[in-house]
Structure 1
Amino acid sequence: MPASFVPPRQVKIGDAAAFAGCTPRAIRHYHGIGLLPEPERGGDDRRRYGYEDMIRLLWIRRMADAGIALEDVRDAFAEGPADAQDGDGIEALLERVEESLAAQETELRRQRTAVQRMRVEGSRVGLLSDLVTERLKGLPEGSLRRADLDTLLVTERIFGPLGAAVQAARFVALATYPALREESDRVDDAEEALDDSVAVDDPRVAQVAAERHAFETALHAAIEESGLDEDDDALFDAWDDAHPETGDDEEDASGSDSGRAMCVLEATGKMPYDFSPARLRCMELAEELSAKNA
Protein backbone atom coordinates (compact mmCIF):
# COMPACT_ATOMS: atom_id res chain seq x y z
CA MET A 1 0.00 0.00 0.00
CA PRO A 2 1.51 3.38 -0.96
CA ALA A 3 2.54 5.45 2.03
CA SER A 4 0.45 8.33 0.72
CA PHE A 5 -2.73 6.19 0.59
CA VAL A 6 -5.14 6.64 3.46
CA PRO A 7 -8.13 4.22 3.55
CA PRO A 8 -11.50 5.75 4.30
CA ARG A 9 -12.79 5.37 7.83
CA GLN A 10 -16.30 4.91 6.47
CA VAL A 11 -17.83 4.28 3.04
CA LYS A 12 -21.18 4.99 1.45
CA ILE A 13 -23.75 2.27 0.77
CA GLY A 14 -22.81 1.96 -2.89
CA ASP A 15 -19.15 1.27 -2.07
CA ALA A 16 -20.16 -1.14 0.70
CA ALA A 17 -22.42 -3.06 -1.70
CA ALA A 18 -19.76 -3.19 -4.41
CA PHE A 19 -17.14 -4.55 -2.00
CA ALA A 20 -19.50 -7.16 -0.49
CA GLY A 21 -20.77 -8.29 -3.88
CA CYS A 22 -24.41 -7.32 -3.45
CA THR A 23 -26.62 -4.32 -4.16
CA PRO A 24 -27.60 -1.28 -2.10
CA ARG A 25 -31.15 -2.60 -2.19
CA ALA A 26 -30.00 -5.85 -0.56
CA ILE A 27 -28.24 -3.93 2.20
CA ARG A 28 -31.37 -1.88 2.86
CA HIS A 29 -33.28 -5.16 3.11
CA TYR A 30 -30.79 -6.42 5.68
CA HIS A 31 -31.46 -3.27 7.68
CA GLY A 32 -35.20 -3.72 7.34
CA ILE A 33 -35.24 -7.26 8.76
CA GLY A 34 -32.85 -6.45 11.58
CA LEU A 35 -29.99 -8.49 10.15
CA LEU A 36 -27.54 -5.61 9.78
CA PRO A 37 -27.73 -2.72 12.24
CA GLU A 38 -28.33 0.52 10.42
CA PRO A 39 -25.32 2.83 10.84
CA GLU A 40 -25.46 6.47 11.67
CA ARG A 41 -25.92 8.87 8.82
CA GLY A 42 -23.40 11.54 7.93
CA GLY A 43 -23.92 15.22 7.49
CA ASP A 44 -25.36 14.61 4.03
CA ASP A 45 -27.97 12.26 5.60
CA ARG A 46 -26.40 9.24 3.93
CA ARG A 47 -25.44 6.01 5.66
CA ARG A 48 -21.78 5.48 6.41
CA TYR A 49 -20.37 1.99 6.93
CA GLY A 50 -17.31 1.24 9.02
CA TYR A 51 -15.02 -1.77 9.37
CA GLU A 52 -17.28 -3.78 11.71
CA ASP A 53 -20.27 -3.12 9.47
CA MET A 54 -18.36 -4.46 6.48
CA ILE A 55 -17.18 -7.55 8.38
CA ARG A 56 -20.76 -8.38 9.34
CA LEU A 57 -21.94 -7.71 5.80
CA LEU A 58 -19.32 -10.08 4.40
CA TRP A 59 -20.37 -12.84 6.80
CA ILE A 60 -24.00 -12.27 5.86
CA ARG A 61 -23.18 -12.62 2.18
CA ARG A 62 -21.08 -15.74 2.73
CA MET A 63 -23.84 -17.44 4.74
CA ALA A 64 -26.53 -16.39 2.26
CA ASP A 65 -24.47 -17.81 -0.61
CA ALA A 66 -24.35 -21.11 1.31
CA GLY A 67 -28.14 -21.22 1.11
CA ILE A 68 -28.89 -20.17 4.67
CA ALA A 69 -32.12 -18.19 5.04
CA LEU A 70 -31.61 -14.57 6.05
CA GLU A 71 -33.99 -14.94 8.98
CA ASP A 72 -31.89 -17.83 10.28
CA VAL A 73 -28.71 -15.78 9.87
CA ARG A 74 -30.31 -12.97 11.85
CA ASP A 75 -31.34 -15.33 14.65
CA ALA A 76 -27.89 -16.88 14.74
CA PHE A 77 -26.21 -13.51 15.12
CA ALA A 78 -28.67 -12.64 17.87
CA GLU A 79 -27.93 -15.87 19.80
CA GLY A 80 -24.15 -15.81 19.50
CA PRO A 81 -21.78 -13.33 21.14
CA ALA A 82 -20.87 -10.48 18.82
CA ASP A 83 -17.12 -10.87 19.32
CA ALA A 84 -16.96 -14.66 18.94
CA GLN A 85 -15.82 -16.35 15.75
CA ASP A 86 -18.08 -19.34 16.33
CA GLY A 87 -21.03 -18.38 18.49
CA ASP A 88 -23.41 -21.03 19.76
CA GLY A 89 -26.18 -19.59 17.61
CA ILE A 90 -24.20 -19.91 14.38
CA GLU A 91 -22.99 -23.41 15.28
CA ALA A 92 -26.55 -24.58 15.90
CA LEU A 93 -27.65 -22.92 12.68
CA LEU A 94 -25.00 -24.69 10.63
CA GLU A 95 -26.05 -28.00 12.14
CA ARG A 96 -29.66 -27.38 11.13
CA VAL A 97 -28.62 -26.32 7.64
CA GLU A 98 -26.55 -29.47 7.23
CA GLU A 99 -29.54 -31.60 8.24
CA SER A 100 -31.76 -29.67 5.85
CA LEU A 101 -29.31 -30.14 2.96
CA ALA A 102 -29.12 -33.86 3.68
CA ALA A 103 -32.91 -34.06 3.52
CA GLN A 104 -32.90 -32.11 0.25
CA GLU A 105 -30.31 -34.48 -1.20
CA THR A 106 -32.52 -37.43 -0.27
CA GLU A 107 -35.51 -35.79 -1.92
CA LEU A 108 -33.51 -34.97 -5.04
CA ARG A 109 -32.39 -38.60 -5.31
CA ARG A 110 -36.01 -39.70 -5.00
CA GLN A 111 -37.08 -37.26 -7.71
CA ARG A 112 -34.24 -38.31 -9.99
CA THR A 113 -35.17 -41.97 -9.55
CA ALA A 114 -38.79 -41.14 -10.43
CA VAL A 115 -37.73 -39.27 -13.57
CA GLN A 116 -35.45 -42.13 -14.61
CA ARG A 117 -38.34 -44.58 -14.18
CA MET A 118 -40.54 -42.38 -16.34
CA ARG A 119 -37.93 -42.33 -19.08
CA VAL A 120 -37.38 -46.09 -18.95
CA GLU A 121 -41.00 -47.20 -18.55
CA GLY A 122 -42.67 -44.39 -20.48
CA SER A 123 -43.97 -41.15 -19.05
CA ARG A 124 -47.38 -42.43 -17.93
CA VAL A 125 -46.47 -45.97 -16.93
CA GLY A 126 -43.46 -44.62 -15.07
CA LEU A 127 -45.71 -42.42 -12.96
CA LEU A 128 -47.33 -45.48 -11.45
CA SER A 129 -45.81 -47.33 -8.51
CA ASP A 130 -43.27 -50.12 -8.99
CA LEU A 131 -45.86 -52.72 -8.01
CA VAL A 132 -48.21 -51.67 -10.81
CA THR A 133 -45.49 -51.12 -13.38
CA GLU A 134 -44.10 -54.61 -12.77
CA ARG A 135 -47.56 -56.09 -13.43
CA LEU A 136 -47.76 -54.37 -16.80
CA LYS A 137 -44.34 -55.44 -18.08
CA GLY A 138 -44.17 -57.72 -21.08
CA LEU A 139 -47.30 -56.40 -22.78
CA PRO A 140 -47.07 -55.59 -26.50
CA GLU A 141 -46.19 -51.99 -27.23
CA GLY A 142 -49.30 -49.87 -27.69
CA SER A 143 -51.60 -52.46 -26.13
CA LEU A 144 -52.23 -50.24 -23.12
CA ARG A 145 -54.33 -47.18 -23.73
CA ARG A 146 -54.12 -43.83 -22.06
CA ALA A 147 -57.54 -44.42 -20.51
CA ASP A 148 -56.27 -47.66 -18.97
CA LEU A 149 -53.35 -45.87 -17.32
CA ASP A 150 -55.60 -43.02 -16.22
CA THR A 151 -57.87 -45.53 -14.50
CA LEU A 152 -54.93 -47.17 -12.75
CA LEU A 153 -53.69 -43.78 -11.59
CA VAL A 154 -57.07 -43.01 -10.01
CA THR A 155 -57.29 -46.49 -8.46
CA GLU A 156 -53.81 -46.16 -6.98
CA ARG A 157 -54.83 -42.85 -5.43
CA ILE A 158 -57.90 -44.40 -3.81
CA PHE A 159 -56.79 -47.94 -2.98
CA GLY A 160 -53.00 -47.63 -3.04
CA PRO A 161 -50.45 -49.55 -5.15
CA LEU A 162 -51.77 -52.96 -4.16
CA GLY A 163 -55.32 -52.15 -5.27
CA ALA A 164 -54.08 -50.76 -8.58
CA ALA A 165 -51.82 -53.76 -9.16
CA VAL A 166 -54.78 -56.09 -8.71
CA GLN A 167 -56.87 -53.99 -11.10
CA ALA A 168 -54.04 -54.09 -13.63
CA ALA A 169 -54.99 -57.72 -14.33
CA ARG A 170 -58.05 -56.33 -16.08
CA PHE A 171 -55.98 -54.35 -18.56
CA VAL A 172 -53.48 -57.16 -19.00
CA ALA A 173 -56.38 -59.39 -20.04
CA LEU A 174 -57.80 -56.75 -22.38
CA ALA A 175 -54.37 -56.32 -23.98
CA THR A 176 -54.02 -60.10 -24.35
CA TYR A 177 -57.46 -60.87 -25.78
CA PRO A 178 -58.40 -58.57 -28.71
CA ALA A 179 -61.98 -59.85 -28.78
CA LEU A 180 -62.47 -58.83 -25.17
CA ARG A 181 -61.01 -55.40 -25.90
CA GLU A 182 -63.44 -54.99 -28.78
CA GLU A 183 -66.40 -55.99 -26.60
CA SER A 184 -65.18 -53.68 -23.84
CA ASP A 185 -65.15 -50.76 -26.29
CA ARG A 186 -68.66 -51.61 -27.45
CA VAL A 187 -70.08 -51.72 -23.92
CA ASP A 188 -68.25 -48.53 -22.97
CA ASP A 189 -69.76 -46.75 -25.96
CA ALA A 190 -73.21 -48.04 -25.03
CA GLU A 191 -72.81 -46.70 -21.49
CA GLU A 192 -71.60 -43.32 -22.72
CA ALA A 193 -74.72 -43.14 -24.93
CA LEU A 194 -76.82 -43.12 -21.76
CA ASP A 195 -76.56 -39.37 -21.47
CA ASP A 196 -78.86 -36.83 -19.83
CA SER A 197 -81.40 -37.25 -22.62
CA VAL A 198 -82.10 -40.85 -21.52
CA ALA A 199 -84.56 -41.45 -18.68
CA VAL A 200 -83.54 -43.73 -15.82
CA ASP A 201 -86.43 -46.10 -16.62
CA ASP A 202 -85.60 -46.26 -20.33
CA PRO A 203 -85.37 -49.94 -21.43
CA ARG A 204 -81.89 -49.27 -22.81
CA VAL A 205 -80.59 -48.75 -19.27
CA ALA A 206 -81.42 -52.31 -18.19
CA GLN A 207 -80.21 -53.67 -21.53
CA VAL A 208 -76.79 -52.03 -21.25
CA ALA A 209 -76.56 -53.17 -17.60
CA ALA A 210 -77.10 -56.76 -18.75
CA GLU A 211 -74.43 -56.31 -21.43
CA ARG A 212 -71.98 -54.91 -18.85
CA HIS A 213 -72.63 -57.86 -16.56
CA ALA A 214 -72.11 -60.35 -19.38
CA PHE A 215 -68.86 -58.68 -20.39
CA GLU A 216 -67.51 -58.57 -16.82
CA THR A 217 -68.34 -62.26 -16.46
CA ALA A 218 -66.43 -63.08 -19.65
CA LEU A 219 -63.51 -60.90 -18.56
CA HIS A 220 -63.32 -62.59 -15.16
CA ALA A 221 -63.32 -65.99 -16.87
CA ALA A 222 -60.43 -64.90 -19.10
CA ILE A 223 -58.49 -63.68 -16.07
CA GLU A 224 -58.97 -67.04 -14.36
CA GLU A 225 -58.07 -68.95 -17.52
CA SER A 226 -54.84 -67.00 -17.98
CA GLY A 227 -53.83 -67.47 -14.34
CA LEU A 228 -53.83 -63.77 -13.59
CA ASP A 229 -55.94 -64.36 -10.49
CA GLU A 230 -53.19 -66.61 -9.16
CA ASP A 231 -50.77 -63.77 -9.74
CA ASP A 232 -53.05 -61.69 -7.51
CA ASP A 233 -52.44 -64.14 -4.66
CA ALA A 234 -48.71 -63.74 -5.16
CA LEU A 235 -49.12 -59.97 -5.09
CA PHE A 236 -50.90 -60.12 -1.74
CA ASP A 237 -48.22 -62.41 -0.33
CA ALA A 238 -45.42 -60.15 -1.55
CA TRP A 239 -47.18 -57.10 -0.12
CA ASP A 240 -47.66 -58.76 3.25
CA ASP A 241 -43.99 -59.73 3.30
CA ALA A 242 -42.95 -56.14 2.54
CA HIS A 243 -45.35 -54.72 5.16
CA PRO A 244 -45.26 -57.29 7.97
CA GLU A 245 -46.39 -55.00 10.76
CA THR A 246 -49.42 -53.17 9.41
CA GLY A 247 -49.96 -54.28 5.81
CA ASP A 248 -50.44 -50.55 5.19
CA ASP A 249 -50.67 -49.60 1.54
CA GLU A 250 -51.22 -45.90 2.08
CA GLU A 251 -47.91 -44.74 0.66
CA ASP A 252 -46.23 -45.43 -2.64
CA ALA A 253 -42.51 -45.74 -3.19
CA SER A 254 -42.14 -41.97 -3.39
CA GLY A 255 -43.30 -41.43 0.17
CA SER A 256 -45.14 -38.31 -0.97
CA ASP A 257 -48.60 -37.29 0.08
CA SER A 258 -49.81 -37.79 -3.49
CA GLY A 259 -49.29 -41.51 -2.89
CA ARG A 260 -51.49 -41.63 0.21
CA ALA A 261 -54.50 -43.84 -0.35
CA MET A 262 -57.95 -42.40 0.31
CA CYS A 263 -61.03 -44.04 1.72
CA VAL A 264 -63.70 -44.73 -0.91
CA LEU A 265 -66.17 -42.33 0.73
CA GLU A 266 -63.61 -39.53 0.74
CA ALA A 267 -62.71 -40.16 -2.89
CA THR A 268 -66.36 -40.28 -3.96
CA GLY A 269 -66.85 -36.70 -2.86
CA LYS A 270 -63.66 -35.40 -4.44
CA MET A 271 -63.19 -37.19 -7.78
CA PRO A 272 -65.65 -35.90 -10.40
CA TYR A 273 -67.28 -38.14 -12.99
CA ASP A 274 -69.69 -36.75 -15.55
CA PHE A 275 -72.22 -39.58 -15.30
CA SER A 276 -75.85 -39.02 -16.14
CA PRO A 277 -78.61 -40.39 -13.86
CA ALA A 278 -79.33 -43.06 -16.48
CA ARG A 279 -75.71 -44.19 -16.53
CA LEU A 280 -75.54 -44.29 -12.74
CA ARG A 281 -78.69 -46.40 -12.71
CA CYS A 282 -77.13 -48.71 -15.31
CA MET A 283 -74.12 -49.19 -13.03
CA GLU A 284 -76.41 -50.01 -10.10
CA LEU A 285 -78.31 -52.60 -12.12
CA ALA A 286 -75.08 -54.21 -13.32
CA GLU A 287 -73.87 -54.50 -9.71
CA GLU A 288 -77.17 -56.04 -8.69
CA LEU A 289 -76.84 -58.63 -11.45
CA SER A 290 -73.30 -59.44 -10.31
CA ALA A 291 -74.41 -59.85 -6.71
CA LYS A 292 -77.34 -62.03 -7.72
CA ASN A 293 -75.13 -64.36 -9.78
CA ALA A 294 -72.23 -64.45 -7.35
Structure 2
Amino acid sequence: MPLPAIPRRVKIGDAAAFAGTTPRAIRHYHAVGLLAEPERGSDDRRRYGYDDMIRLLWIRRMADAGISLDDIRAGFEGATGIEQSLARLEESLASKAAAIEAQRAAVHRLREVGSPLGLLSPLVSGRLHDLPPGSLRPADLDTLLVTERTFGSLGAALQADRFIILATHPELRAEEDRLAEAEAALDDTMSPDDPRIEDLAARRCAHETALGAAIDRSGLDETLDLLLDQEDEHAGEEEGEARTSPVEAVGKMPYDFSPARVRYEERVIELLHPADQDGDTPRTR
Protein backbone atom coordinates (compact mmCIF):
# COMPACT_ATOMS: atom_id res chain seq x y z
CA MET A 1 0.00 0.00 0.00
CA PRO A 2 1.61 3.26 -1.08
CA LEU A 3 2.16 5.99 1.50
CA PRO A 4 0.02 9.11 1.28
CA ALA A 5 1.70 12.23 0.02
CA ILE A 6 4.00 13.46 2.80
CA PRO A 7 4.37 17.22 2.87
CA ARG A 8 7.80 18.70 3.56
CA ARG A 9 6.15 21.60 5.39
CA VAL A 10 2.65 22.14 6.81
CA LYS A 11 0.47 25.12 7.60
CA ILE A 12 -0.21 26.25 11.16
CA GLY A 13 -3.61 24.59 11.31
CA ASP A 14 -2.17 21.19 10.42
CA ALA A 15 0.74 21.70 12.85
CA ALA A 16 -1.70 22.54 15.64
CA ALA A 17 -3.91 19.55 14.89
CA PHE A 18 -0.96 17.17 14.91
CA ALA A 19 0.48 18.57 18.17
CA GLY A 20 -2.90 18.62 19.90
CA THR A 21 -3.03 22.36 20.36
CA THR A 22 -4.47 25.41 18.58
CA PRO A 23 -3.09 27.90 16.06
CA ARG A 24 -3.60 30.62 18.67
CA ALA A 25 -1.37 28.73 21.14
CA ILE A 26 1.34 28.30 18.51
CA ARG A 27 1.25 32.02 17.73
CA HIS A 28 1.69 32.65 21.46
CA TYR A 29 4.72 30.34 21.52
CA HIS A 30 6.21 32.48 18.79
CA ALA A 31 5.40 35.69 20.66
CA VAL A 32 7.08 34.58 23.90
CA GLY A 33 10.17 33.17 22.20
CA LEU A 34 9.46 29.48 22.71
CA LEU A 35 9.18 28.60 19.05
CA ALA A 36 11.14 30.33 16.31
CA GLU A 37 9.21 31.87 13.46
CA PRO A 38 9.26 29.38 10.55
CA GLU A 39 9.68 30.11 6.91
CA ARG A 40 6.69 31.48 5.06
CA GLY A 41 5.33 30.26 1.76
CA SER A 42 4.50 32.24 -1.33
CA ASP A 43 1.14 33.07 0.28
CA ASP A 44 3.03 34.63 3.24
CA ARG A 45 1.69 31.97 5.62
CA ARG A 46 3.85 30.09 8.08
CA ARG A 47 5.11 26.70 7.05
CA TYR A 48 6.35 24.23 9.67
CA GLY A 49 9.00 21.58 9.03
CA TYR A 50 10.04 18.45 10.87
CA ASP A 51 12.31 20.19 13.44
CA ASP A 52 9.57 22.73 14.18
CA MET A 53 7.12 19.93 14.88
CA ILE A 54 9.56 18.14 17.20
CA ARG A 55 10.07 21.36 19.14
CA LEU A 56 6.30 21.90 19.27
CA LEU A 57 5.75 18.37 20.59
CA TRP A 58 8.31 18.93 23.36
CA ILE A 59 6.63 22.20 24.33
CA ARG A 60 3.24 20.52 24.49
CA ARG A 61 4.57 17.57 26.54
CA MET A 62 6.23 19.90 29.09
CA ALA A 63 3.22 22.21 29.27
CA ASP A 64 0.92 19.23 29.83
CA ALA A 65 3.18 18.25 32.75
CA GLY A 66 2.37 21.59 34.37
CA ILE A 67 5.66 23.33 33.59
CA SER A 68 5.26 27.05 32.93
CA LEU A 69 6.12 28.48 29.53
CA ASP A 70 8.71 30.75 31.14
CA ASP A 71 10.48 27.72 32.63
CA ILE A 72 10.32 25.86 29.34
CA ARG A 73 11.83 28.83 27.50
CA ALA A 74 14.61 29.13 30.10
CA GLY A 75 15.41 25.44 29.63
CA PHE A 76 15.62 25.80 25.86
CA GLU A 77 17.77 28.97 25.83
CA GLY A 78 21.34 28.20 24.89
CA ALA A 79 20.82 24.44 25.09
CA THR A 80 22.42 22.23 22.43
CA GLY A 81 19.85 19.46 22.72
CA ILE A 82 16.77 18.29 24.52
CA GLU A 83 18.81 16.39 27.14
CA GLN A 84 20.61 19.58 28.16
CA SER A 85 17.31 21.45 28.15
CA LEU A 86 15.75 18.90 30.48
CA ALA A 87 18.76 18.94 32.80
CA ARG A 88 18.63 22.71 33.08
CA LEU A 89 14.88 22.61 33.57
CA GLU A 90 15.19 20.03 36.36
CA GLU A 91 17.80 22.17 38.12
CA SER A 92 15.60 25.26 37.85
CA LEU A 93 12.56 23.43 39.20
CA ALA A 94 14.58 22.01 42.10
CA SER A 95 15.60 25.55 43.05
CA LYS A 96 11.98 26.70 42.86
CA ALA A 97 10.88 23.72 44.93
CA ALA A 98 13.31 24.72 47.68
CA ALA A 99 11.98 28.29 47.61
CA ILE A 100 8.39 27.05 47.76
CA GLU A 101 9.23 24.80 50.70
CA ALA A 102 10.70 27.78 52.55
CA GLN A 103 7.52 29.74 51.84
CA ARG A 104 5.38 26.84 53.01
CA ALA A 105 7.35 26.66 56.27
CA ALA A 106 6.83 30.40 56.76
CA VAL A 107 3.08 30.10 56.20
CA HIS A 108 2.98 27.14 58.60
CA ARG A 109 4.64 29.29 61.26
CA LEU A 110 2.10 32.07 60.68
CA ARG A 111 -0.75 29.60 61.16
CA GLU A 112 0.80 28.21 64.35
CA VAL A 113 1.62 31.57 65.91
CA GLY A 114 -1.42 33.40 64.62
CA SER A 115 -1.54 36.35 62.26
CA PRO A 116 -0.47 39.11 62.49
CA LEU A 117 1.64 38.03 65.50
CA GLY A 118 3.29 35.49 63.23
CA LEU A 119 4.32 38.30 60.91
CA LEU A 120 6.50 39.78 63.64
CA SER A 121 10.10 38.78 64.21
CA PRO A 122 10.79 35.90 66.62
CA LEU A 123 12.24 38.46 69.03
CA VAL A 124 8.87 40.22 69.32
CA SER A 125 6.54 37.23 69.07
CA GLY A 126 8.64 35.40 71.66
CA ARG A 127 8.12 38.33 74.02
CA LEU A 128 4.36 37.72 73.88
CA HIS A 129 4.09 33.96 73.64
CA ASP A 130 3.17 33.42 77.32
CA LEU A 131 0.02 35.54 77.11
CA PRO A 132 -3.29 33.67 76.95
CA PRO A 133 -4.75 33.34 73.42
CA GLY A 134 -6.95 36.28 72.52
CA SER A 135 -5.59 38.58 75.22
CA LEU A 136 -3.96 40.80 72.62
CA ARG A 137 -6.30 42.93 70.56
CA PRO A 138 -5.96 42.96 66.76
CA ALA A 139 -5.16 46.69 67.01
CA ASP A 140 -2.34 45.90 69.46
CA LEU A 141 -0.80 43.47 67.01
CA ASP A 142 -1.19 45.88 64.11
CA THR A 143 0.58 48.56 66.14
CA LEU A 144 3.47 46.21 66.86
CA LEU A 145 3.78 45.44 63.17
CA VAL A 146 4.02 49.15 62.35
CA THR A 147 6.45 49.76 65.22
CA GLU A 148 8.75 46.98 64.11
CA ARG A 149 8.86 48.39 60.61
CA THR A 150 9.59 51.87 61.97
CA PHE A 151 11.94 51.22 64.89
CA GLY A 152 13.12 47.65 64.32
CA SER A 153 12.52 44.47 66.30
CA LEU A 154 14.05 45.80 69.52
CA GLY A 155 11.73 48.82 69.53
CA ALA A 156 8.73 46.59 68.95
CA ALA A 157 9.87 44.12 71.62
CA LEU A 158 10.09 46.94 74.14
CA GLN A 159 6.69 48.25 73.10
CA ALA A 160 5.32 44.73 73.58
CA ASP A 161 5.78 45.32 77.33
CA ARG A 162 3.00 47.89 77.13
CA PHE A 163 0.58 45.40 75.59
CA ILE A 164 1.57 42.72 78.08
CA ILE A 165 0.58 45.06 80.90
CA LEU A 166 -2.68 46.01 79.19
CA ALA A 167 -3.49 42.34 78.69
CA THR A 168 -2.85 41.50 82.35
CA HIS A 169 -4.24 44.62 84.09
CA PRO A 170 -7.99 45.00 83.45
CA GLU A 171 -8.19 48.46 85.03
CA LEU A 172 -5.49 49.81 82.73
CA ARG A 173 -7.09 48.14 79.74
CA ALA A 174 -10.43 49.74 80.61
CA GLU A 175 -8.84 53.20 80.76
CA GLU A 176 -7.02 52.52 77.49
CA ASP A 177 -10.35 51.71 75.85
CA ARG A 178 -11.96 54.85 77.25
CA LEU A 179 -9.10 56.97 75.97
CA ALA A 180 -9.18 55.31 72.56
CA GLU A 181 -12.90 56.07 72.26
CA ALA A 182 -12.33 59.70 73.22
CA GLU A 183 -9.42 60.00 70.78
CA ALA A 184 -11.58 58.65 67.96
CA ALA A 185 -13.97 61.56 68.60
CA LEU A 186 -11.22 64.07 67.75
CA ASP A 187 -12.48 64.41 64.20
CA ASP A 188 -12.72 67.24 61.69
CA THR A 189 -15.69 68.74 63.49
CA MET A 190 -13.50 69.72 66.47
CA SER A 191 -11.25 72.76 66.52
CA PRO A 192 -7.56 72.25 67.38
CA ASP A 193 -8.11 74.93 70.06
CA ASP A 194 -10.90 73.04 71.80
CA PRO A 195 -10.12 72.95 75.57
CA ARG A 196 -11.15 69.28 75.73
CA ILE A 197 -7.94 68.44 73.88
CA GLU A 198 -5.86 69.64 76.83
CA ASP A 199 -7.94 67.63 79.31
CA LEU A 200 -7.70 64.48 77.21
CA ALA A 201 -3.96 64.90 76.71
CA ALA A 202 -3.51 65.18 80.50
CA ARG A 203 -5.52 61.95 80.97
CA ARG A 204 -3.40 60.18 78.37
CA CYS A 205 -0.21 61.38 80.05
CA ALA A 206 -1.41 60.12 83.43
CA HIS A 207 -2.36 56.79 81.87
CA GLU A 208 1.03 56.37 80.20
CA THR A 209 2.73 57.19 83.50
CA ALA A 210 0.65 54.49 85.22
CA LEU A 211 1.54 52.03 82.48
CA GLY A 212 5.23 52.82 82.86
CA ALA A 213 5.02 52.26 86.61
CA ALA A 214 3.26 48.91 86.07
CA ILE A 215 5.99 47.86 83.66
CA ASP A 216 8.64 48.76 86.22
CA ARG A 217 6.86 46.74 88.92
CA SER A 218 6.44 43.75 86.61
CA GLY A 219 10.18 43.30 86.13
CA LEU A 220 9.82 43.26 82.35
CA ASP A 221 12.58 45.84 82.09
CA GLU A 222 14.98 43.35 83.64
CA THR A 223 15.01 41.40 80.38
CA LEU A 224 16.30 44.39 78.42
CA ASP A 225 19.87 43.12 78.32
CA LEU A 226 18.65 39.76 77.05
CA LEU A 227 16.67 41.50 74.32
CA LEU A 228 19.75 43.46 73.31
CA ASP A 229 21.73 40.23 73.03
CA GLN A 230 18.96 38.65 70.94
CA GLU A 231 18.83 41.72 68.75
CA ASP A 232 22.54 41.31 68.01
CA GLU A 233 21.92 37.68 67.05
CA HIS A 234 19.11 38.62 64.67
CA ALA A 235 20.78 41.74 63.32
CA GLY A 236 21.76 40.05 60.08
CA GLU A 237 18.28 38.81 59.29
CA GLU A 238 17.18 42.12 57.82
CA GLU A 239 20.27 42.63 55.66
CA GLY A 240 19.31 43.44 52.10
CA GLU A 241 15.92 44.77 53.15
CA ALA A 242 15.18 48.32 52.13
CA ARG A 243 15.19 50.30 55.33
CA THR A 244 14.20 53.86 56.14
CA SER A 245 14.95 55.98 59.16
CA PRO A 246 12.24 56.20 61.85
CA VAL A 247 11.48 59.80 60.86
CA GLU A 248 11.14 58.82 57.19
CA ALA A 249 9.00 55.80 58.08
CA VAL A 250 6.63 57.85 60.24
CA GLY A 251 6.30 60.34 57.38
CA LYS A 252 5.30 57.58 54.96
CA MET A 253 2.75 55.80 57.18
CA PRO A 254 -0.71 57.23 56.45
CA TYR A 255 -2.72 58.25 59.50
CA ASP A 256 -5.95 60.07 58.71
CA PHE A 257 -5.66 62.41 61.70
CA SER A 258 -7.78 65.53 61.91
CA PRO A 259 -6.13 68.83 62.89
CA ALA A 260 -7.58 68.35 66.38
CA ARG A 261 -6.06 64.86 66.63
CA VAL A 262 -2.69 66.14 65.41
CA ARG A 263 -2.72 68.86 68.06
CA TYR A 264 -3.68 66.30 70.69
CA GLU A 265 -0.79 64.00 69.74
CA GLU A 266 1.61 66.95 69.87
CA ARG A 267 0.33 67.95 73.29
CA VAL A 268 0.71 64.41 74.65
CA ILE A 269 4.35 64.39 73.55
CA GLU A 270 4.92 67.79 75.16
CA LEU A 271 3.47 66.59 78.46
CA LEU A 272 5.33 63.29 78.44
CA HIS A 273 8.67 64.81 77.43
CA PRO A 274 8.95 68.37 78.74
CA ALA A 275 12.17 70.04 77.61
CA ASP A 276 13.41 70.65 81.16
CA GLN A 277 12.66 67.14 82.48
CA ASP A 278 15.62 65.27 83.96
CA GLY A 279 16.01 61.54 84.32
CA ASP A 280 13.82 58.88 82.83
CA THR A 281 10.66 59.74 80.99
CA PRO A 282 7.49 57.68 80.93
CA ARG A 283 7.46 55.26 78.06
CA THR A 284 5.28 56.43 75.21
CA ARG A 285 2.73 54.60 73.15
Q: What is the TM-score when the length of structure 2 is the normalising length? A: 0.79
Counterpart in the other structure of 1:50: 49
Alignment of 1:126-145 (within 5 A): 126-145=118-137
Counterpart in the other structure of 2:7: 9
The CA deviation at 1:237 is: 1.2
* Cα 1:45–1:237 shift into 2, 3 Å: closer
Name stretches of at least 5 consecutive residues in structure 1 with no aligned partner. Answer: none
* Cα 1:31–1:86 shift into 2, 3 Å: closer
Counterpart in the other structure of 1:271: 253
Moved more, 148-157 or 23-32: 23-32
CA distance in 2, matches of 1:232, 1:119: 28
CA distance in 2, matches of 1:12, 1:211: 82
CA distance in 2, matches of 1:33, 1:147: 46
The CA deviation at 1:73 is: 6.3
Kept after mapping to 1: 8 A contact 2:198/2:267? yes
CA distance in 2, matches of 1:45, 1:250: 57
Cα RMSD after superposing both structures: 3.1
* Cα 1:284–1:249 shift into 2, 3 Å: farther
CA deviations over 1:241-293 (Å, ceiling 9, x no partner)? x14xxx45746xxx8x5xx5432222233211122222222222222222235
Counterpart in the other structure of 2:22: 23
Kept after mapping to 2: 8 A contact 1:17/1:24? yes
Counterpart in the other structure of 1:168: 160
Aligned residue identity for 1:158: T
Counterpart in the other structure of 2:112: 120
Kept after mapping to 1: 8 A contact 2:153/2:231? no
What is the SS of the residue equivalent to 1:269?
Answer: helix
Counterpart in the other structure of 1:282: 264
Alignment of 1:214-293 (within 5 A): 214-240=206-232, 242-243=233-234, 247=235, 250=238, 260-292=242-274, 293=277
Counterpart in the other structure of 2:145: 153
Aligned residue identity for 2:201: A
| Identical-pair percentage | 56
* Cα 1:199–1:25 shift into 2, 3 Å: closer
The CA deviation at 1:176 is: 0.6
Counterpart in the other structure of 2:41: 41
CA distance in 2, matches of 1:106, 1:30: 28
CA distance in 1, matches of 2:252, 2:61: 47
Kept after mapping to 2: 8 A contact 1:160/1:249? no
Question: Segments of 4+ in structure 1 off by > 6 A?
Answer: none
The CA deviation at 1:46 is: 5.8
Aligned residue identity for 1:38: P
